[in-house]
Structure 1
Amino acid sequence: MPPQNLPPRDAIRRAAGELFVRDGYAATTVRAIAAAAGCDPALVIRHFGSKEGLFLATVSVSGDLSTILAGPLESIGRELVRYVLEGAESPVAGVYRAMLSASDRPEIKERLRASIHDVFVGPLAERVGGAYPELRARLAAAQFAGLINAFWLVGDPALVRGERTAIITLYGDAIQRLLTCEDPTH
């Protein structure tokens, strides 16, 4: 059913966001978006140029990491792991899955890279000490993304059924080590 009382552009954005998150990039068609928005497919293209343009205009992976990344530096690792464990069915998990499923497209891959930098690496690198703050933040982001992939994409049964406290402690401390350990010596 089309969203009521929304200008066509807003109705298209809302419908596209819902469909991309629910069905993924490949399975979502311009026709399906137009039908859900109550408009003609040509109007979708007129407003956004392409399916890829619409995807980029509607999907963001930011989630609510800013609170965690601004929190006490000494507990960020465990808080990031807790975020992943508690968020498997959240809207941000659906957005992440949609973004990753479309990451074979160059513009979307670049948006994903930029989002990782803007949302995670940049804010964290400003707070991490040592000689390698950006490297530390990027490595922590890579570890964080690995856990997201294991839980939100693959649904690794051993991890999903695993003891939460052990996962939070073990993996959280591994991320934490990247952020707070001594710099390597040459």
Structure 2
Amino acid sequence: MPAQNLPPRDAIRRAAGDLFVRDGYGATTVRAIAAAAGCDPALVIRHFGSKEGLFLATVSVSGDLTGILTGPLESIGRELVRYVLNGAGSPVAGVYRALLSASDRPEIKERLRASMHDVFVGPLAERIGGARPELRARLAAAQFAGLINACWLVGDPVLAQADHDAVISLYGDAIQRLLTCEDPPPSAG
């Protein structure tokens, strides 16, 4: 059903976002997007150049993390874990799955890398200090992404059934250690 009273470009964006999240990148066609937007497929291509261009213009991972990453540094680890555990059925989980399903495409893989840096690594590295802030922020991002994969992509039943407070404490403190620990001494080699 096309969105009423939206300019065609906005209707295409909305329809594409919904379909990419619901069906994934591979299963979403330009024809399906056009049908949902109430327009001709040629209009989709005219506005966005390609399905990949439309995907990049509509799907973003930056949303809800800003509040956590700008919050108190000493609680970021646990807040990130709480975000993952509470977000398994959220729209952002669908966006993440859509991005991951399309990550074999070079432009989308690059978008994922850039988003990880712009949304997560860059802001954290500026705050945590030390001799290796970017490395520590990237390692924290890798831990965060690992939990997202286990919970949102794989749907690990043990994690889903585990006591959330225990997971928040154990995994959150593991992430937190990377953000607030002392840097290891430089290697002698």
Pair in the same fold by TM > 0.5: yes
CA distance in 2, matches of 1:80, 1:50: 34
Same amino acid, percent of matched pairs: 87
**In structure 2, what residue type is equivalent to 1:53?**
G
Q: CA deviation at 1:181?
A: 0.9
Q: Is 1:144 aligned with 2:144?
A: yes
After TM superposition, the score normalised by the length of structure 2 is 0.97
CA distance in 1, matches of 2:94, 2:122: 23
The equivalent of 2:133 in structure 1 is 133
Which amino acid is the alignment partner of residue 105 of structure 1? R
What is the count of residue pairs matched by the alignment? 186
User: What SS class does the counterpart of residue 25 from structure 2 fall into?
Assistant: coil
Deviation at 1:63, TM superposition (A): 2.1
Instruction: Provide the rounded CA distance (Å) in 2 between the counterparts of 1:129 and 1:49.
Output: 42
Counterpart position of 2:171: 171
Structure 1 unaligned runs (5+)?
none
Deviation by residue 1:33-85 (Cα, 9 ceiling, x = unmatched): 00000011111111111000000010001121111111111111000000000
Q: Which residue of 1 aligns with 2:11?
A: 11
CA distance in 2, matches of 1:94, 1:56: 15
Q: CA deviation at 1:95?
A: 0.5
Within a 5 Å distance, the mapping from 1:1-186 to structure 2 comes to 1-185=1-185, 186=187
CA RMSD of aligned residues (A): 0.6
Distance (Å, rounded) in 2 between the aligned partners of 1:96 and 1:52: 16
| Runs of 4+ with >6 A deviation | none
**3-state SS of paired residue (1:25):** coil
